[in-house]
Amino acid sequence: MEKSELDNKEVDLNENKGKHRIRSPKLNAQTHNMSSSPVLRGEEADETLFEAFGEQERKLDSALKKSLGLDDSVDLKGKEDKKPVSRLRSVLSFVLTLAICLVLALLFTRFVLQRNTVTGISMEPTLIERDELFVDKISHLWRNYERSDLVTARTDKKTIDGKAMVVIKRVIGLPGDSIKISEGAVFLNGEELVEPYLDDSVSTYVSFNSFLELTLGEDEYFLLGDNRADSYDSRHFGPVKEADLIGRVWFRFYPFDRFGKP
- 239, 220 in Cβ contact below 8 A? yes
**Which of 37, 77, 122, 261 is labelled catalytic?**
122
**Which of 137, 169, 231, 234 is labelled catalytic?**
169
- 150, 262 in Cβ contact below 8 A? yes
- 155, 240 in Cβ contact below 8 A? yes
> How far apart (Å, rounded) are the C-alpha atoms in residues 46 and 50?
6
> How far apart (Å, rounded) are the C-alpha atoms in residues 31 and 36?
8
Q: Is 59 a catalytic residue?
A: no
Q: Is 169 a catalytic residue?
A: yes
Count how many residues are written for the chain.
262
Cα-based angle 60, 65, 67 (whole degrees, multiple of 5): 95
- 168, 220 in Cβ contact below 8 A? no
Closest CA to 135 of 252, 222, 260, 257: 252
For residue 213, how far is the Cα from the chain centroid? 52
- 149, 170 in Cβ contact below 8 A? yes
- How far does the chain reach from its first CA to its final CA, in angstroms? 143
Upstream peptide bond of 125 is cis (omega within 30 degrees of 0): yes
> How far apart (Å, rounded) are the C-alpha atoms in residues 164 and 179?
25
Which sequence positions are flagged as catalytic? 122, 169
